[in-house]
Amino acid sequence: MSIAVIDYGAGNLHSVRKALELASNLTGVNGPVVVTDDPERVAAADHVILPGDGAFADCRAHLDAVPGMIEAIGEAVDRRGRPFLGICVGMQLLATRGIEYGATPGLGRIAGEVRPVEPSDGRLKVPHMGWNTLQAGRSHPLLDDIPLGPEGWHAYFLHGYQLYPEDPADVVASADYGGPVTAIVATGNLAGTQFHPEKSQKLGIALLANFLKWKP
């Protein structure tokens, strides 16, 4: 099994790779984790991860600047049906569009818009930064054996924008930050986390292990 982390100049590539290697060893998958900007390796991978840090528009521009990468994602996701995971802005890029620094088209994989986090409590600061538990919106293999709810495990968030999906069924889990914050989305063989699993300790490793075992 091959695991490709897309390198397009955005994201915690080293941390993501190390977390995936740990998850791979725990599951017995033991597949090589490759950080790559080679579209052929992405298209041929068994699992594909799109990390992301920074502004939506900048990340989309960086992704577009890698020749053949958008097409490689389509090959992996659509033609080969491989599991795909977006992390932070990598998850946001799955949306129809983002409005950070002007309207920018996303990858159009999940109908919805990326807009600012707007907590109802004015004392809560934006960006949303810190540890939060998750509340399930629906069941999904990514959440297998992960304790949720107020007494559950914590995920690490750092973001000022969030994805607002048009279809509530696309929301697998949310966090509470003066109102619901989209934490995990999924449709078909695509999924995304607003939080950083590579920084979320046991929850993050468990989720990545579930991703590597996922057979959509």
- Identify whether 59 is a catalytic site residue: no
Question: What DSSP state is assigned to residue 168?
Answer: G
- Identify whether 88 is a catalytic site residue: yes
- Identify whether 196 is a catalytic site residue: yes
What stretches of 61-109 adopt beta strand conformation (E)?
A: 84-87, 95-98, 104-105
Token pair 């017995």 is at which residue? 28
Which residue type, as a one-letter code, is found at position 157? F
Starting at the edge strand found earlier in the chain, the sheet holding 110-116 runs 104-105, 95-98, 110-116, 161-165
Contact status, residue 6 vs residue 69, Cβ threshold 8 Å:
yes
Question: What DSSP state is assigned to residue 141?
Answer: G
**Annotated active-site residue in 75, 100, 113, 198:** 198
**Annotated active-site residue in 47, 59, 75, 88:** 88
- Of 213, 126, 114, 215, the C-alpha closest to 177 is 126
Distances (CA, A) of 147 to 158, 172, 202, 207: 21, 14, 11, 11
- Residues acting as catalytic residues: 88, 196, 198
